[in-house]
């Protein structure tokens, strides 16, 4: 039996005592040039992200100045992790939580928050500051009307950067033995950048602050070119902005990198496969920026970046091959025909199917697990039918309860199929969709996959 060399920490009185003091890991097997690259695992906080630190700090400050009274309500606009941190701290302290979240956030975050009893309001992610449905404006308006509520406002709250100046920064310097050449961060609210920037300016002036920013954010162009650009869109969550938050002091940044979503996703996956570290999409952005910085250096340097949160919140996105393909973020062979619209290809094994002898219960479970409304029915690799939710409902609604889902798929499937050849034009999809059907795509007699309305919409969005 192998005995651990680590000394376990003492018993904590509550989960709040476990916030901070996160581990540091040196990465090996990455193309980091002459540099040594380290990641601080903020995913090890009890709430799963770096935002636990600022939640503890901001709630403590609101209690101290009397704005937050016992039994009060904490209101915040959040990409998810700050909300989870506020819930982690606030619920233990007996507060209610109301969070306004943009609609592009991963479902795991929403489910986590609701499991904690948080009131989650989902709003639009396609509008900017000043619009009543913009998540920050909406949160401020709700808090102003709600008795006993405090709008925490991580974007302007001074307790946000203070948390990193007093905890994260000192931890990094101690773990690195006082020798840090650069720290690579992202900006959501700006608290991490500003807090670490303030700390290292005093404690280690040689340490450079480097920004990794999603393509589409306004921050990196402002730092690198002094250019004020119109914000675009990006899929990475939690970092990148369409304005410069009050808590964001860009004067600390010496270098900024614009990282496309495809590079962020690929790098997050690389972190998992090469280092066994499951990080979120923003962690992929930060690591990609750190690797770029390292490869540009002509002298050896010690570089630190952060695993901002756990990747378990992005299993339906970053680590879901179908989602990555739907977003156009995967490297895949393009054929210039209908095959390019198939999100889950048969040849790659991504298409979820059933056999004719499988039970309707099996079909139902596979639909739910894969979040699809129809399944191709294959017999020895040959397409013989299709079963969708309406077929399933019709087959089970009039049967005895003990026989409903024990029927074979063959008894409920549609065997008369309208198919398309992969070489047919895009317009051939429209008559099929008008009949509320899915397009079944073949290459000769070989089944290639299905195309749904959302697949066509995704294709047109990527082409725009």
Taking alpha carbons only, the member of 463, 455, 271 closest to residue 350 is 455
Task: Specify whether 51 is catalytic.
Answer: yes
Give the H or E element holding residue 326: helix 321-326
> CB count, 10 Å around CB of 398?
7
Q: How many Cα neighbours within 13 Å face the side chain of 408?
A: 7
283 is catalytic: no
The C-alpha atoms of residue 387 and residue 103 are separated, in whole angstroms, by: 31
Contact 355, 366 (CB under 8 A): no
Which residue among 57, 264, 282, 346 is the active-site one? 282
Closest CA to 303 of 19, 17, 37: 37
Number of other residues whose CB lies within 10 A of the CB of residue 206: 9
Which residue of the set 40, 51, 301, 317 is catalytic? 51
Q: What are phi and psi of 211, to 5 degrees?
A: -105, 130
Residues 6+ apart with CB under 8 A from 192: 50, 161, 164, 168, 185, 186, 306
**Helix H or strand E encompassing 374:** strand 374-379
Tell me how far apart the alpha carbons of residues 438 and 447 are, in angstroms, rounded to a whole number.
14
* CA 77/CA 155 separation, integer angstroms: 9
Please identify every residue annotated as catalytic: 51, 282
């Amino acid at each position: 039996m192998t005995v651990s060399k680590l000394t376990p920490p003492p018993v904590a009185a509550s989960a709040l005592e476990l916030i901070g003091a996160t581990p540091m890991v040196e990465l090996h097997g990455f193309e980091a040039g002459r540099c040594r690259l380290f990641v601080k695992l903020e995913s090890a906080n009890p709430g799963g992200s770096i935002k636990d630190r600022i939640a503890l700090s901001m709630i403590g400050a609101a209690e101290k100045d009397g704005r937050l009274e016992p039994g009060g309500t904490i209101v915040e606009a959040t990409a998810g992790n700050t909300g989870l941190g506020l819930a982690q701290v606030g619920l233990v302290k007996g507060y209610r939580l109301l969070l306004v979240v943009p609609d592009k956030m991963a479902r795991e975050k929403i489910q986590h928050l609701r499991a904690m009893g948080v009131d989650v309001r989902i709003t639009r992610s396609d509008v900017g500051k000043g619009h009543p449905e913009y998540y920050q404006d909406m949160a401020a308006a709700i808090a102003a009307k709600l008795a006993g509520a405090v709008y925490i406002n991580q974007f302007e709250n001074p307790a946000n950067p203070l948390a990193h100046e007093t905890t994260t920064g000192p931890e990094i310097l101690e773990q690195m033995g006082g020798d840090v050449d650069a720290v690579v961060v992202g900006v959501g609210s700006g608290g991490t950048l500003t807090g670490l920037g303030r700390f290292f300016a005093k404690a280690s002036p040689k340490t450079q602050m480097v920004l990794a920013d999603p393509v589409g954010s306004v921050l990196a162009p402002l730092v690198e070119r002094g250019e004020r650009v119109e914000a675009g869109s990006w899929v990475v969550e939690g970092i990148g902005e369409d304005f410069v938050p009050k808590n964001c002091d860009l004067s600390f940044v010496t270098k900024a990198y614009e990282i496309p979503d495809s590079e962020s996703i690929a790098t997050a996956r690389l972190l998992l496969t090469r280092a066994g570290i499951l990080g979120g999409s923003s962690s992929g952005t930060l690591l990609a920026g750190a690797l770029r910085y390292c490869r540009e250096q002509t002298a050896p340097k010690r570089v630190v970046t952060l695993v901002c949160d756990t990747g378990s919140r992005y299993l339906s996105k970053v680590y879901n091959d179908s989602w990555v393909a739907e977003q156009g973020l995967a490297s895949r062979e393009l054929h210039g025909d209908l095959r390019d619209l198939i999100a889950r290809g048969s040849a790659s094994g991504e298409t979820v199917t059933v056999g004719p002898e499988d039970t309707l219960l099996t079909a139902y479970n596979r639909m739910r697990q894969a979040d699809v409304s129809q399944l191709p029915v294959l017999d020895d690799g040959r397409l013989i039918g299709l079963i969708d939710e309406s077929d399933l409902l019709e087959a089970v609604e009039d049967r005895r309860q003990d026989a409903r889902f024990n029927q074979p798929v063959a008894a409920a499937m549609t065997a008369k199929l309208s198919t398309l050849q992969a070489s047919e034009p895009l317009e051939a999809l429209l008559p099929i969709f008008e009949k509320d059907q899915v397009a079944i795509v073949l290459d000769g007699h070989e089944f290639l996959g299905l195309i749904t309305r959302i697949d066509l919409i995704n294709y047109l969005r990527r082409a725009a």
